[in-house]
Amino acid sequence: MNIPLNIIYEDDAVVVLNKQAGISVHPSMNEPQGTLSDALVAKYPKMKTVGDDPMRPGIVHRLDKDTSGLLIVAKNQEAFEFLKREWQEGRVIKKYLALVWGRPKEKGEIISELARSPKDFRKRIVVNPGKNKNKELKGKLAITEYKVVRKYANFSLVEVYPKTGRMHQIRVHMASIGCPVAGDKIYGGKRKNPEGLTHQFLYAFYLGIVLPGNKKMAFEADLPEDLRDILTKLEK
């Protein structure tokens, strides 16, 4: 499998890529090869030993398989440790564009705990402390802010600002307010997707981060053509 590496920035310590949808960031039991991580190690062999987990060389954060957008990867262990601290201490600014069903409030903040679903290992669910029937179900705090930037007949385009980095956080939170991400196969129910949409409409368009050497950087990328085409069709 030929995996494209759309590199938008590179130095001795890091690589910043614009990941396309449909490619997993790193291998898993169900997908042992053919991932972005495999392509990165092929290009940068020294990256193979970088990180905490040999299955995730150089990876300090991830995007879901069907989410596209900006991703930063460490090229050496020192850079990995530096970036990991930036993430753990909440200093990284992430912004997404999402097309969601319905009409959420003009802006909002969603705060909840998220946990793995006991019924479906793929899913995360909102946990309400003290109200769960399953007392052993423990969640982790997740905070998501958003604002509406464009309205369509049955959809809204929102900018989303996750303040924490839980798995599926944006997708679960938007679904929890009745506005799931368009094209989301897990949290979107049986809604009919906009014509031409083949994956969830969630794009990581902005990344603000301090790089090793205390270089303060901001990366921004335009919507890919396939998602721009969806919005053009909705405007007609």
Instruction: Please give the model's pTM, rounded to 2 decimal places.
Output: 0.93
pLDDT score at 59: 96
The yes-or-no verdict on residue 133 having pLDDT over 70 is no
Q: What is the pLDDT of residue 196?
A: 92
* pLDDT for residue 130: 54
Cα dihedral across residues 171, 175, 181, 186: positive or negative: positive
Catalytic residue among 38, 64, 66, 184: 64
CATH number for the domain formed by residue range(s) 7-90: 3.30.2350.10
What is the average per-residue pLDDT within 116-126?
90
Burial class (CB in 10 A: 0-12, 13-18, 19+), 107: exposed
- In CATH, the architecture of 92-205+222-236 is 2-Layer Sandwich (3.30)
| Distance, CA of 205 to CA of 109 (rounded, Å) | 20
Confidence of residue 173 (pLDDT cuts 50, 70, 90): very high
Give me the mean pLDDT over the 27-37 stretch: 78
User: Domain segments of the chain: what residues?
Assistant: 7-90, 92-205+222-236
92-205+222-236 has the same fold as 7-90: yes
64 is catalytic: yes
Helices (H), the chain: 36-43, 77-88, 169-176, 225-235
228-231 CB contacts, 8 Å cutoff, 24+ apart: 229/196, 230/99, 230/182, 230/194, 230/195, 230/196, 230/197, 230/201, 231/99, 231/150, 231/152, 231/157
User: Among residues 99, 110, 122, 20, which one has the least CA distance to residue 66?
Assistant: 20
Residue 200, pLDDT score: 97
Least confident segment among 127-141, 148-162, 202-216: 127-141
pLDDT confidence band for 120 (50 / 70 / 90): confident
The pair of three-digit structure tokens given for residue 124, joined into one six-digit string: 């995360």
The whole-angstrom separation of Cα 133 and Cα 119 is 13
Q: How far is CA 119 from the centre of its chain?
A: 23
